Amino acid sequence: MKTIKITPRGYCHGVVNAINTITNLDHLSMKFPVYILGMVIHNKQMVNSLENLGYITLHDPTKTRLELLDLIDSGTVIFTAHGVSPDVYKKAKLKGLEIIDTTCDDVFKSQDVIKNYLEKEYDVIYIGKHSHPESEAAKGISDKIHIIENINNLETLNIENKKIVITNQTTMSIYDVFNISEKAKLVYPNIEFINEICDATRIRQEAISNIPSEVDHVYVVGDKLSNNSRKLVQVASEQSNVSSSLIESITDIDIKELSNYSCVAVSSGASTPTKVTSEVIKFLELFDKNDKSTHDITSKLTIKNLLTKKALPK
Ligand code: SF4
């Protein structure tokens, strides 16, 4: 099968930093047990690999980061690349936990933008997903932050402050953010717009916006919980006008569907392990609809060969 590998794809610098920080911790000087507050990155395979090494992931979509902290009484807590609110930081300190903070530089930068505008007494409209930890961290900075997920949510706001800025979660669609900010300018003529889509998200979305016309389908390899992966699927469909789907690994590939295509393209989210994407690419390249021996979608990857690092001492 002709398979076009879209570049850039896969891990961003924020994810690489988070994983390297965690897997290179000095075990001799640490407090145990070691908890990760939320999924380290939105990828179940990586979470399972870290669990296998002894890291305890606290993940419950019904609980905020602040509530998850109630489950920890001692040891070390790791904050993920998505960042945390000032209250989470304070509470962890008060509990006497050792803190390892892997918040991405780009998330810190977007939080600084918000804080600067709050100091100047602005209200902040923040385009992000309500349930996403990065939005939760931003929202926790002040009650002057108004989260909206889409253009319709603008109508639910009633901000009287004349000083307003609109900004966004780093992993939203560049096209959605532009459209929402344009609409916001009509509703609030004085509004200022600070685009905080990170470079990693932007260049991956731009790459998937220009798919060659010979491509029948785009596979985005990524976890269903990964916002940037889901946005890549959306951007491919909307901007390149080609069908696109999110797959977590080769096991999600539908052989019947694939047999209808002559050329496919592959991208992956910023939190997708390279080995998972490489396995998908290799499978697609070898795929021949007339040769059944190339139709086996069993993954050879295990939690052990995904992250070959030293386990935490028991
Ligand atoms: S997607 Fe962007 S903001 Fe998020 S971790 Fe990667 S580089 Fe940082």
Exactly one of 51, 67, 119, 134 is catalytic; name it: 134
- 190 and 154 assigned to the same domain: yes
Residues 6 or more apart in contact with residue 13 via CB below 8 angstroms? 104, 105, 200
- 88 and 24 assigned to the same domain: yes
Query: What stretch of H or E contains 163?
Result: none
- 131 and 191 assigned to the same domain: yes
Give residue 259's domain range: 2-10+200-303
- 25 and 100 assigned to the same domain: yes
Cα-to-centroid distance, 30 and ligand 1 (Å): 27
**CATH number of the domain enclosing 37:** 3.40.50.11270
**Each residue's pLDDT tens digit in the chain (314 positions)?**
999 999 999 999 999 999 999 999 998 889 999 999 999 988 999 999 999 999 999 999 999 999 999 999 999 999 999 999 999 999 999 999 999 999 999 999 999 999 999 999 999 999 999 999 999 999 999 999 999 999 999 999 999 999 999 999 999 999 999 999 999 999 999 999 999 999 999 999 999 999 999 999 999 999 999 999 999 999 999 999 999 999 999 999 999 999 999 999 999 999 999 999 999 999 999 999 999 999 999 999 988 888 878 788 87
Distance CA 205, CA 129 (A): 18
134 is a catalytic site residue: yes
Q: Which atom of ligand 1 is nearest to the CA of 18?
A: 5
Which residue lies with its CA nearest to atom 7 of ligand 1? 14
Query: Is 244 inside a domain boundary?
Result: yes
* Domain final position from 160, 181, 197: 197
- 83 and 150 assigned to the same domain: no
Q: In what order do the strands lie in the sheet with 2-5?
A: 2-5, 263-268, 217-221, 243-247
pLDDT for 307: 83
Query: Is 137 inside a domain boundary?
Result: yes
Cα-to-centroid distance, 86 and ligand 1 (Å): 20
pLDDT for 304: 81
Residues 6 or more apart in contact with residue 268 via CB below 8 angstroms? 9, 10, 220, 221, 222, 229, 276, 277
Cα-to-centroid distance, 192 and ligand 1 (Å): 23
Using a 10 angstrom Cβ sphere, with 0-12 exposed, 13-18 middle and 19 or more buried, the burial of residue 185 is: middle
- 204 and 168 assigned to the same domain: no
* Domain final position from 65, 81, 104: 104
Which residue lies with its CA nearest to atom 5 of ligand 1? 14
The number of folded domains in the chain is: 3
CA 270, 272, 274 angle in degrees (round to 5)? 110
- 147 and 190 assigned to the same domain: yes
pLDDT for 110: 98
Query: Is 308 inside a domain boundary?
Result: no
pLDDT for 63: 96
Cα-to-centroid distance, 297 and ligand 1 (Å): 30
* Domain final position from 104, 124, 145: 104
- 208 and 162 assigned to the same domain: no
- 154 and 85 assigned to the same domain: no
- 91 and 138 assigned to the same domain: no
Query: Is 312 inside a domain boundary?
Result: no
Distance CA 166, CA 215 (A): 36
Query: Is 310 inside a domain boundary?
Result: no
- 145 and 58 assigned to the same domain: no
Ligand 1 shell residues, CB under 6 Å: 12-15, 81, 104, 106-107, 170-171, 198, 200-201, 228, 270
Query: Is 311 inside a domain boundary?
Result: no
Query: Which of 134, 135, 170, 227 has the most ligand 1 atoms within 8 A of CB, as the residue to mutate?
Result: 170
pTM for this entry: 0.94
**CATH number of the domain enclosing 244:** 3.40.1010.20
- 252 and 282 assigned to the same domain: yes
